[in-house]
């Protein structure tokens, strides 16, 4: 049993010994209910609509059934998603809940951890969340939905704060009464937030603790109205826009034209010549995904990450438009990679456990890590070596105008910064196969292989 | 500490009933508004609905 599936006493997730397959074991009192769901029109409708992936019943035990399901690998977690990824996951959850209700079922959980992205597409993977709808009961997962989806989205709508990142430290979501205060007064004039969040959780339910003797009386019709209203509220949310340095990096920098052309040509050739395994590539510092899109011509799966939230969000929207399932965008800070969290630190795995690639590209980022984050080249090389077997990396010299901008903001304590230092550091972990300067620029591209 | 003993699922009837009560009023007026607007423009904005 995986230690991330202990919460549900009726169903566990089991991994095959080589980690390539996922099995789901359903048992106890829930078994018959689940088998009924598995054979229901709801299950088939969810499959047809591509809201879930097919699972196959493979083994029958006395009081348990085992199902096999495709493994989406690697998975990204909600704290690595951007606004539109979280929004689409929220909308999917509500679509599924409405559909479930119309077929006599309901979701007992509404957490973004139940959703997995395969490229642009979110899939609901917690099959054991479906239970029979109980007449006149309210939606048991309503508050969880508000704490884990609605609030982080609403906060991002009005502020530049990426609250979903804090799901790392708030694995069960945010206490609504406390966190509503993050919303500016402007949000109080949004009719959806007023009704869904502010009136019930800030003004009325402030100190109220309800007793268990409360009689549930919430008709199915009302619940469907509630779900539809939440859907409209979330559909209307737009992210707070701020202009970041990276938004139009390739469109508006002096580096444009010749530089990008030469770099593209070279990297295209290297990708073409590449003879290793073509399972996964990782584009570190992907920006608008320009090079991730080159990588996908060769690789089955491309992980594209950047420190800039808005760039990753724009990349997600672009692959969504193109219906691209091969690129997985996610937000991460390389100088502070996602940790493992939860019970025994095994519930959600770390950056290093999930993101491994055959080839990595680290273009125009080593100078940022070196100067902005003070990470020595040798530690950078060690980082890349722990993620990828082959590496295409760009060295940006101190004379480069971009490095000069970084240095103008702080004291130059980087007297040893040079191509020699760079090469010696990377040679500790990699063998350098090729080294090509970009004509007319103080930049050099390297092709390397891990020792 | 009382917080540890409160079932996160309990108490949501009041909240959900409240939300639906207000939502019904909003949806009523929105429907009228959209009906009137539909005479003036064809909406080709985001076509994602809860049922598709």
Specify the pLDDT at position B1. Answer: 40
Output the pLDDT for position A184: 94
Q: Please name the member of A91, A204, A214 whose beta carbon is closest to the beta carbon of B13.
A: A214
Residue pair A71/A22 in contact (Cβ under 8 Å)? The answer is: yes
For residues A286 and A390, state if they share a domain. yes
| Interchain proximity B20–A235, CB inside 8 Å | no
- A221 and A258 both lie in a single domain: no
Q: Is residue A3 part of a domain?
A: no
Q: Which of A180, A229, A236 would best serve as a mutation to test chain B binding (most B beta carbons within 10 A)?
A: A229
pLDDT of residue A59: 84
My answer on whether A151 and A57 are in the same domain is: no
Residues A59, A87: one domain?
A: no
Residue A227, pLDDT > 60, answer: yes
> DSSP state, A385?
H
In a domain, A5, yes or no: no
User: At which of A69, A91, A111 does a domain end?
Assistant: A69
Q: Is A243 inside a domain boundary?
A: no
A316: CATH:
3.40.50.150
Dump pLDDT digits (tens) for A351-407. Answer: 999 999 999 999 999 999 999 999 999 999 999 999 999 999 999 999 999 999 999
**Would you call B19 and A222 a contact, using CB atoms and an 8 Å cutoff?**
no
Q: Can you tell me the distance from the alpha carbon of A74 to that of A330, in angstroms, rounded to the nearest whole number?
A: 11
What is the greatest pairwise CA distance in chain B?
Answer: 58
With H, G, I as helix, E, B as strand and everything else as coil, classify residue A331: strand
* Stretch A338-349: mean pLDDT: 92
Residue A377, domain member (yes or no): yes
Among the ranges given (A37-51, A118-132, A239-253), the one the predictor scored with the smallest mean pLDDT: A239-253
> Is 80 exceeded by the pLDDT of residue A420?
yes
Q: Is residue A322 located within the same domain as residue A387?
A: yes
Task: Select from B2, B20, B43 the residue whose CB has the most chain A CBs within 10 Å, as the one to mutate to test that interface.
Answer: B20
**pLDDT tens digits, A4-27:** 667 777 788 887 777 777 888 888
pLDDT number for residue B12 = 75
The answer to whether residues A316 and A340 belong to one domain is yes
A64 touches A26 (CB < 8 A): yes
Which is nearest to A283 in space by CA: A273, A274, A267, A295? A295
DSSP string, A260-307: HHHHHHHHHHHHHH--S--SEEEEET-TTTHHHHHHTTT-SEEEEEES
In whole angstroms, give the CA distance from residue A111 to residue A126.
10
Cβ–Cβ < 8 Å for A355, A387: yes
Of A183, A212, A235, the residue that ends a domain is: A235
Cα distance between residue B36 and residue A69, in whole Å? 49
Distance in Å, alpha carbon of A101 to nearest chain B alpha carbon: 12
Confidence check: pLDDT of A251 > 80: no
pLDDT of residue A30: 86
Contact A156, A240 (CB under 8 A): yes
Taking all residues of chain A, what is their mean pLDDT, rounded to a whole number?
A: 90
Domain co-membership, A198 together with A339: no
Average pLDDT over residues A100-104: 97
Has residue A314 been placed in a domain? yes
State what percent of residues in chain A have pLDDT above 70. Answer: 93
Residue A188 belongs to domain spanning = 78-235
Q: Residue A201: pLDDT band by 50, 70, 90 thresholds? A: confident
CB contact under 8 A, B19 and A191: no
One domain for residues A209 and A320: no
Which stretches in chain B have pLDDT values below 70?
A: 1-11, 42-46
* Whether residue A365 sits in one domain with residue A286: yes
Query: From the CA of B7, how many Å to the nearest CA of chain A?
Result: 9
For chain A, the helix, strand and coil percentages under 3-state DSSP, each to the nearest 5: 45, 20, 40
Q: Which whole number is the average pLDDT over A172-177?
A: 92
User: Does residue A207 form part of some domain?
Assistant: yes
User: pLDDT digit string (tens) for A45-86?
Assistant: 999 999 999 988 888 887 888 888 888 888 999 999 999 999
Residues A379 and A271 in one domain: yes
The yes-or-no verdict on residue A348 having pLDDT over 70 is: yes
The answer to whether A83 and B39 are in contact (CB under 8 A) is no
Contact partners, residue A195, CB within 8 Å, separation at least 6: A229, B19, B22, B23, B26
Q: How far is A443 from chain B (nearest CA, A)?
A: 43
Q: Is residue A65 a contact partner of residue A31, using CB atoms and an 8 Å limit?
A: yes
CB neighbour class for A103 (10 Å; exposed up to 12, middle 13-18, buried from 19): middle
Q: Of A205, A235, A265, which one is at a domain's C-terminal end? A: A235
Under the banding of pLDDT at 50, 70 and 90, the label for residue A428 is very high
The reply to whether residue A229 touches residue B26, judged by beta carbons under 8 angstroms, is: yes
The reply to whether A241 falls in a domain is: no
Are A265 and A230 in a shared domain? no
Of A10-19, A248-257, A309-318, A337-346, where does mean pLDDT reach its minimum? A248-257
pTM: 0.92
Domain count, chain A: 3
B12: nearest CB among A143, A217, A225: A143
Is residue A6 in some structural domain? no
- In chain B, residues with a C-beta closer than 8 Å to the C-beta of A231 are 50
pLDDT, position A13: 85
My answer on whether A131 and A211 are in the same domain is yes
């Amino acid at each position: 049993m995986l230690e991330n599936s202990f919460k549900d006493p009726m169903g566990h997730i089991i991994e095959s010994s080589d980690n390539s397959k996922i099995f789901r074991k359903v048992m106890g009192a829930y078994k018959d209910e689940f088998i009924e769901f598995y054979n229901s029109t709801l299950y088939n409708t969810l499959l047809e609509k591509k809201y879930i992936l097919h699972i196959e019943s493979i083994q029958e035990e006395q009081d348990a059934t085992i199902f096999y399901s495709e493994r989406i690998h690697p998975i990204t977690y909600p704290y690595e998603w951007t606004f539109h990824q979280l929004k689409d996951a929220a909308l999917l959850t509500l679509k599924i809940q409405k559909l479930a209700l119309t077929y006599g079922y309901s979701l007992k959980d509404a957490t973004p951890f139940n959703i997995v992205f395969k490229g642009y597409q979110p899939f609901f993977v917690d099959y054991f969340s479906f239970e029979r709808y109980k007449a006149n009961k309210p939606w048991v997962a309503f508050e969880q939905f508000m704490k884990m989806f609605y609030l982080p989205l609403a906060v991002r709508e009005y502020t530049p704060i990426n609250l979903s990142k804090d799901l790392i430290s708030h694995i069960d979501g945010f206490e609504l009464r406390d966190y509503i205060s993050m919303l500016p007064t402007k949000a109080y004039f949004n009719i959806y937030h007023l009704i869904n969040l502010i009136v019930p959780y800030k003004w009325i339910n402030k100190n109220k603790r309800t007793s268990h003797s409360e009689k549930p009386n919430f008709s199915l019709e009302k619940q469907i109205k509630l779900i539809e209203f939440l859907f409209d509220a979330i559909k209307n949310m737009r992210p707070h826009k701020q202009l970041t340095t990276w938004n139009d990096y390739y469109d508006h920098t002096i580096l444009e034209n010749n530089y990008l052309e030469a770099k593209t040509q070279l990297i295209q050739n290297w990708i073409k010549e590449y003879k290793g395994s073509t399972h996964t590539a990782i584009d570190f510092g992907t920006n608008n995904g320009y090079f991730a899109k080159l990588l996908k011509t060769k690789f089955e799966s491309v992980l594209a990450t950047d420190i800039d939230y808005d760039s990753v969000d724009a990349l997600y929207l672009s692959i969504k438009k193109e219906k691209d399932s091969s690129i997985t965008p996610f937000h991460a800070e390389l100088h502070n990679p996602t940790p493992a969290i939860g019970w025994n630190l095994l519930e959600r795995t770390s950056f290093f456990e999930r993101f491994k690639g055959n080839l990595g590209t680290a273009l125009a980022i080593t100078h940022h890590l070196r100067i902005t984050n003070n990470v020595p080249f040798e530690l950078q090389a060690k980082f890349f070596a722990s993620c990828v077997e082959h590496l295409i990396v760009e060295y940006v010299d101190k004379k480069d105008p971009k490095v000069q901008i970084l240095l103008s903001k702080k004291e130059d304590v980087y007297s040893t910064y040079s191509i020699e230092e760079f090469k010696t550091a990377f040679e500790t972990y990699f063998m350098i196969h090729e080294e090509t300067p970009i004509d007319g620029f103080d930049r050099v591209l390297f092709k390397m292989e891990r020792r | 500490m009382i917080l540890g003993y409160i079932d996160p699922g309990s108490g949501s009837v009041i909240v959900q009933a409240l939300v639906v009560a207000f939502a019904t009023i909003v949806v009523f007026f929105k429907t009228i508004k959209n009906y009137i607007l539909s005479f003036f423009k064809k909406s080709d904005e985001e076509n994602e609905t809860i049922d598709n």
